A and B are shown apart, each in its own frame.
Chain A
Amino acid sequence: MENMIELKDITKEFKVLNRREGLKGSFQDLFSRDYKIVRAVDHISLSVKPGEIVGFLGPNGAGKSTTIKMMTGVLEPTNGELLVNGRIPYKNRTQNSQEIGVVFGQRSQLWWALPLIESFKLLKDIYQIPQDEYDGMMELYAKLVNFDEILHKPVRQMSLGQRTLSDILAAFLHNPKVVFLDEPTIGLDVAMKSKIRELILELNKQKHTTVILTTHDMGDVDALCERIVIIDKGKMLYDNDIEHLRKFFGAYRTLKIRPREKMDVMVEDLTKELEMMDVRISHDDEWVFLLVNEEKTSVLKVLGLIQEKHKIKDMQLEEISTEDVIKKIYKEGI
Chain B
Amino acid sequence: MNRFKKYFALTRAGIIECVNYRMALVVMVFGNLLYLTLIYFVWKAIFASSGSDVVNGMTFESTMIYLVLATALFNFMEMYIVWEMGRDIQSGKIALNLLKPMKYKDYLFWSVSGSFVVNFVFTFIPTFLIVMLVTKGTIAIGINLIYFVIAVVLAVVINYEIDFIIGTVCLYTESIWGINVMKQAVVTLLSGATIPLAFFPEKLRTVIEYLPFRAIYDTPLTILLSRNPDAGMVAEKLLVSLAWAVVMSLISHLFWRISIRQVTVNGG
Contact = CB atoms under 8 A, between A and B. Distances in A.
Interface of A: 19, 22-23, 26-27, 29-30, 33
A27 B16 CA distance: 8
A33 to B, nearest CB: 8
Contacts of A19: 20
17 contacts: A19-B20, A22-B16, A23-B12, A23-B15, A23-B16, A26-B15, A26-B16, A26-B19, A26-B20, A27-B19, A29-B19, A29-B20, A29-B22, A30-B19, A30-B22, A30-B25, A33-B22
Contacts of A33: 22
A29 B19 CA distance: 8
Contacts of B22: 29-30, 33
A22 B20 CA distance: 11
Interface centre among B16, B20, B25 (most CB of A within 10 A): B16
A106 to B, nearest CB: 14
Given A22-B16, A30-B22, 7 more contacts: A19-B20, A23-B16, A26-B19, A26-B20, A27-B19, A29-B19, A30-B25
A322 to B, nearest CB: 29
Contacts of A27: 19
A197 B22 CA distance: 46
A33 B22 CA distance: 10
Main secondary structure of the interface of A (DSSP, over half): helix
Contacts of B16: 22-23, 26
Contacts, number: 17
Nearest to A19: B20
Interface string B10-29: 00100110011010010000
Contacts of A29: 19-20, 22
A159 to B, nearest CB: 15
A22 B16 CA distance: 7
Interface of B: 12, 15-16, 19-20, 22, 25
A327 B12 CA distance: 39
Nearest to B114: A23
Main secondary structure of the interface of B (DSSP, over half): helix
Nearest to A25: B16
B251 to A, nearest CB: 33
B27 to A, nearest CB: 14
Closest 8 CB pairs of A and B: A26-B19, A26-B16, A30-B19, A30-B22, A23-B12, A26-B20, A23-B16, A27-B19
Contacts of B25: 30
B258 to A, nearest CB: 28
Nearest to B15: A23
Nearest to A24: B16
A27 B15 CA distance: 10
A19 B20 CA distance: 9
B187 to A, nearest CB: 31
Contacts of B20: 19, 26, 29
Contacts of A26: 15-16, 19-20
A78 to B, nearest CB: 25
Contacts of A22: 16
A19 B21 CA distance: 12
Nearest to B13: A23
Contacts of B19: 26-27, 29-30
B267 to A, nearest CB: 15
Nearest to A28: B19
Nearest to B20: A26
Nearest to A27: B19
A329 to B, nearest CB: 38
A187 B25 CA distance: 39
Contacts of B12: 23
Interface centre among A26, A27, A33 (most CB of B within 10 A): A26
Nearest to A22: B16
Nearest to B25: A30
A205 to B, nearest CB: 39
A27 B19 CA distance: 7
Interface centre among A22, A23, A33 (most CB of B within 10 A): A23
A28 B97 CA distance: 31
Contacts of A30: 19, 22, 25
Interface centre among B15, B22, B25 (most CB of A within 10 A): B22
A33 B15 CA distance: 18
A27 B118 CA distance: 11
A30 B25 CA distance: 9
A27 B22 CA distance: 10
B105 to A, nearest CB: 25
Nearest to B19: A26
A30 B16 CA distance: 10
A33 B21 CA distance: 12
A33 B20 CA distance: 11
A27 B208 CA distance: 42
A187 B141 CA distance: 62
Contacts of A23: 12, 15-16
A149 B196 CA distance: 60
A48 to B, nearest CB: 38
A26 B16 CA distance: 6
A16 B19 CA distance: 17
A29 B22 CA distance: 8
